[in-house]
Amino acid sequence: VVLEAVRESGSSLVYASAKLRADKDFILEAVRENGWALQCASVELQADEEVVRCAVLRVGNTLSYANRTFHADKDLVLLAA
């Protein structure tokens, strides 16, 4: 049910439990459906390269929700462009 809502709007993940927003497998599936889901992922997953890369591949602008260390990653920034 939550993934269906994420398909429509990535920010709907804000209504999911903290446990679900910290579940890497779930978040990977969510960002594959809608890159904007990264904005509601746990701080730890916003710092996870695999999750961030997956989100940025879908929607380049989601890089702004990733941990700041990724903002200096040349390859990721080019991917987001």
Query: What is the DSSP code string of 19-58?
Result: HHHT-HHHHHHHHHH-GGGGGGS-TTGGG-HHHHHHHHHH
pLDDT in tens, 35-58: 999 999 999 999 999 999 999 999
- At 70 the three-state DSSP class reads helix
Q: What pTM, to 2 d.p., does this model score?
A: 0.87
d(CA 81, CA 71): 12
pLDDT in tens, 22-34: 999 999 999 998 8
pLDDT of amino acid 15: 83
